[in-house]
Chains A and B, each alone.
Chain A
Amino acid sequence: MKFFSTRAGTWTGFAAAALVLFGLAPLVLSGFRLGLLAQFLCYAIVAVGIGLAWGRGGMLTLGQGVFFGMGAYLMAMHLKMADAEFRGGPGAVPDFMELAGIRELPGYWVPFTSPVFTIAAILLLPTGFAVLLGFAVFKRRVKGAYFAILSQALAGAFAILLIGQQTLGGFNGLSRFRYFFGFNLADPVNQQMLYFIAAGALLVVMAVALQLRRSRYGELLVAVRDGEERVRFLGYDAANIKVVAYAAAALFASIAGAIFVPVVGIISPASIGIIPSIMFILGVAIGGRASLAGPVIGALAVAWAQTALSEQFPSAWTYAQGLLFIAVIALLPGGIASVGALARRLPSKPTAVEAAA
């Protein structure tokens, strides 16, 4: 994989990915499969963020479902408001609230009528929350397993909180979206457009992650991961460095959630709690957390395997998936991305891959 570590190699990789995503995939995949790929690309966007925070920064974030969920619910609220307005004029209540007997639109829903406000909220709210949380946690030097447990507890708490919110659809969540910024979601052409948005967002997010990795900041982040005390002795504030990566991961997850909602058509607490959060991590671990492409490949591979296996063996696919995980972890400790290194009999320790990057 040496070639892909060089500047020319990286851009070749990007061009190839763009060609596959924008050219090949729409040609060979049916509308349904393309929609499925769009869903997987959303997982991959989350994975890029985890790769940054965990692979480069050493922060095992077991709670990305929180930020994914924030982005998703913010987008879902706008879509429900747009739908209500379209059916019943300004001030109309979304359909699920009518069924729950809620006649008055809750105040916090009102601003989501505005697309601009919604997009700003998707970009700023989860990021801001991650910055606040990051400062609170990293300034106190909470790290390692403690940070992992904390982030996981947060995902669990967030899902429980949402289940109790009848004005956010409770356990059922929000579904039945008809329009996406004025476009009819039932139209196959618009569904394809959503796929292009997901693919474009993934490439942009990867490019941003790449620039962060290659900058001086990226060097510092790895240094904090490998020797936080030393970095501190050199005069840097390790907490600031970690907060940036954590906030970037939160932003990526939020963008992914926002695209996920119109693609899949439903968001509920079941998609953002502890188990989905662990599935995000799993993809990154399988793919190889330290490289740029590893998390993306892993997330796509895990999601694809899950779908393909469950279609093939509806009642036994969980066993097959378990075997796959065991095989990857036992045979490829550096993840799928380390296949190349392994083939050349190079040491496949993550540190070696990073040094090359």
Chain B
Amino acid sequence: MPLRPKLEARDIARTLAATAAITGLIATAACGSRAGEETVAAESCVDTSGDTVKVGALNSLSGTMSISETTVRDAIYLAVAEINAAGGVQGKEIEIVAEDGASEPTVFAEKAEKLIREDCVAAVFGGWTSASRKAMLPVFEDNDSLLYYPVQYEGLEASPNIFYTGATTNQQIIPALDYLAETGVESLYLVGSDYVFPRTANAIINAYAADHGIEVLGEDYAQLGSVEFSTIVNQVSASGADAVFNTLNGDSNVAFFREYANVGLTPEEMPVMSVSIAEEEVGGIGIENIEGQLAAWNYYQTVESPENAAFVEAFKTEYGDERVTSDPMEAAYNSVYLWAATVEKAGSFAVADIQANADGVSFASPEGTVVINGDNHHVAKTARIGEIRSDGLLYTVWESDGPIEPDPFLEGYDWAAELTVTE
């Protein structure tokens, strides 16, 4: 006997009546502006009349990204403490409101909105993954507030409400390719995690390779967090490429380099150029598996300059001798100083004043002088290729002649014309 779910007629009628009543309620609720009409963004509630000014620190303190992002938070706190010790910004003490992004894009969006609308912060520092930045971008644009994003990323973005203090592709990936080409590399194998940064990076690498006569012998993607690399490493090994370009992220690097060393591949016969491995990650991978391999960044703990000596010393004094400093940490540290310098120049904490005065603002940072580009809100940075040595630190083996102007849409590279559509 087949089942006939039996609902009584009056029950259904009642449900429909309730539905109609609620729909009516919604319909009578006032409706706001339609598409295309200008909306007035909610009035900024930032209050700078007192002795303090609030800023947000939004980093993942829980979840998969917390290991990386807590180091960035530490650097932000260090910069704020230093600026406060030196008299603050516009004579006001900076007060940090911390929030946990929990490694989830939706949480980043929620907390960013909370910082802007409930805590009324003047600016927010943080974010790491591109997914978290993409989630926060509309929040900062809709509320007309400021985000300082400290991590190298895939470019192709320029929001008036975001300042990008990490490298864009022409300050990291292209110099790395130039370096490899200079050292006589004629074929490459590409290995990356399956998300936007590696895919965009590899699109750029393929275009560069086609133009420079470099052969790309293979392109493999592993799911984020994947730790099974025997197949990929065997393919890399069999390809006989001159070098590997590695855009893997997180734990996958540990498994990849162990497997790489296991099958007997060495930096001498097939070097690996990595763009997501910094001082923090080397320890986890195991120095014996990665010694001699290359990385591309703008900053290493070993950079020789008085500014960096002071930064490293201050960091170790604050957080302990065993801690290391890395590129994203330095970029986050810079971002606080760049914001403070822009506020001083503008003489105001207002978003419009900061946007208008940002161009040319510079800071003598640990990596060398960095300068904000007012058009695309990125900063001019020096590119450096580093080699991982036995003490677990990276040492510069090549660096660009001075800071490279940021070019997030690669407009200055003819071979990249096919890659992007700019508005």
Contact residues of A with B, CB < 8 Å? Answer: 14, 18, 22, 30-33, 35-36, 39, 82, 86, 98-101, 103, 160, 163-164, 166, 170-173, 175-179, 182-190, 192-193, 196-197, 200, 203-204, 207-208, 211-212, 214-217, 220, 235-237, 240-241, 244, 264-266, 268, 270-271, 307, 310-311, 314-315, 317-318
Give the CA-CA distance A33 to B119 in the complex, in Å.
Answer: 12
Contact A172 B7 (CB under 8 A): no
Q: Which residues of A contact B62 (CB under 8 A)?
A: 315, 317-318
| A-B contacts besides A163-B223, A200-B26, A204-B15, 18 pairs, CB < 8 Å | A18-B22, A32-B113, A171-B131, A171-B194, A171-B196, A183-B32, A183-B35, A186-B142, A187-B32, A189-B33, A196-B25, A203-B22, A211-B11, A270-B104, A270-B106, A310-B102, A311-B114, A315-B62
Q: Chain B nearest CB: distance from A103 CB in Å? A: 7
The residue on A at minimum CB distance from B40 is A187
Docked-complex contact A236 and B3, CB < 8 angstroms: yes
Q: Which residue of B lies closest to A85 (CB)?
A: B35
Q: Taking CB as reference atom, which chain B residue is nearest A315?
A: B61
Q: How far is the CB of B196 from chain A (nearest CB, A)?
A: 5
Contacts of B22 in A (CB 8 A): 18, 200, 203-204
- Tell whether B400 is near chain A: CB-to-CB under 8 Å: no
Residues of A within 8 A of B85 (CB): none
Cross-chain contact B135 with A266 (CB below 8 angstroms): yes
* Closest chain A residue, CB of each to CB of B108: A266
Chain A residues closer than 8 Å to B118, beta-carbon distance: 30, 32-33
Q: Known: A184-B39, A217-B6. Is A99-B420 also a contact (CB below 8 A)?
A: yes
Say whether, besides A189-B33, A204-B19, A175 and B135 are in contact (CB < 8 Å).
Answer: yes
Instruction: Provide the residues of chain B in CB contact with A166, threshold 8 Å.
Output: 199
A31 to B45 CA separation, bound complex (whole angstroms): 13
Known: A101-B203, A207-B15, A265-B109. A216 touches B5 (CB 8 A): yes
B-side contacts of A99, CB under 8 Å: 156-157, 420-421
Nearest opposing residue in chain A for B135, CB measure: A266
Taking a contact as CB atoms under 8 Å apart, the answer to whether B137 and A175 are in contact is yes
What is the CA–CA distance of A291 and B138 in the complex, to the nearest angstrom? Answer: 39
Binary contact readout B174-205 vs A (1 if CB under 8 angstroms, 0 otherwise): 00000000000000000000111001100100
With most chain B CB atoms within 10 A of its CB, the pick from A171, A179, A185 is A171
Given A268-B131, A270-B105, A315-B100, A190-B32 contact (CB < 8 Å): yes
Instruction: List 21 A-B pairs, Cβ < 8 Å.
Output: A33-B118, A100-B199, A164-B194, A170-B199, A172-B196, A176-B137, A182-B34, A183-B31, A183-B35, A184-B39, A186-B142, A189-B32, A190-B33, A193-B31, A197-B26, A203-B18, A211-B7, A215-B6, A264-B110, A310-B102, A315-B98
Contact in complex: B8, A215 (CB < 8 Å): yes
How distant is the Cα of A172 from the Cα of B200 in the complex, in angstroms?
13
Q: Which of B35, B42, B111, B224 contacts A31 (CB 8 A)?
A: B42
Given contacts A175-B138, A200-B26, contact A39 B12 (CB under 8 A): no
> Smallest CB-CB separation from A313: which chain B residue?
B100
* Chain A residue nearest to B154 in the complex (CB): A99
Q: Among A22, A103, A176, A271, which residue has its beta carbon within 8 angstroms of that of B138?
A: A176
Are A220 and B3 interface neighbours, CB within 8 A? Answer: yes
Smallest CB gap from B113: residue in A: A32
CA distance A35 to B39 in the complex (A): 18
Give the contacts of B20-61 with A (CB-CB under 8 A): 22-23, 25-26, 29-37, 39, 41-42, 61
Q: Chain B residues in contact with chain A, CB under 8 A? A: 1-3, 5-8, 11-12, 14-15, 18-19, 22-23, 25-26, 29-37, 39, 41-42, 61-62, 70, 98-100, 102, 104-106, 109-111, 113-114, 117-118, 130-131, 134-135, 137-139, 142, 156-157, 194-196, 199-200, 203, 223-224, 418-421
Cβ–Cβ contact B11 & A240, under 8 A = no
Report chain B residues within 8 Å CB of A266: 105-106, 109, 134-135, 138
- Bound-complex Cα distance A289 to B419 (A): 52
The reply to whether A211 and B114 form a contact with Cβ atoms under 8 Å apart is no
Smallest Cβ-Cβ distance to A193: which chain B residue: B29
On chain B, the residues within 8 Å of A101 by CB distance are 203, 418-421
Give the residues in chain B near A170, CB-CB below 8 Å. 194-196, 199
A314 to B114, CA, bound (A): 13
Closest 8 CB pairs of A and B: A189-B32, A171-B195, A217-B5, A187-B32, A190-B32, A200-B22, A32-B117, A179-B35
* B18 vs chain A, min Cβ distance (A): 5
For B39, give its contact among A82, A186, A212 (CB under 8 Å). Answer: A186
Q: How many angstroms from the CA of A14 to the CA of B17 in the assembled complex?
A: 13
Interchain CA distance A33-B420 in the complex, whole Å? 39
Quote the shortest CB–CB distance from A275 to chain B (angstroms).
9
Instruction: Give min CB distance, B408 to chain A, whole Å.
Output: 11
Query: Complex Cα distance A87/B352, Å?
Result: 25
Contact between B419 and A184 (Cβ–Cβ < 8 Å)?
no
Chain A residues, CB < 8 A from B8: 215
- Report the separation of the CA atoms of residues A87 and B15 in the bound assembly, to the nearest whole angstrom: 41
Q: Which residues of A contact B106 (CB under 8 A)?
A: 264, 266, 268, 270-271
CB distance from B174 to the nearest CB of A (A): 17
Separation of A187 and B142 alpha carbons in the complex (Å):
9
Is the CB–CB distance between A271 and B104 below 8 Å? yes
Residues of B within 8 A of A22 (CB): 25
Closest to B110 in A: A36
The smallest beta-carbon distance between B131 and chain A, in angstroms, is 5
Contact of B135 among A212, A268, A307 (CB under 8 A): A268
Asked whether A188 and B42 contact (CB < 8 A) given A163-B194, A196-B26, A265-B109, the answer is yes
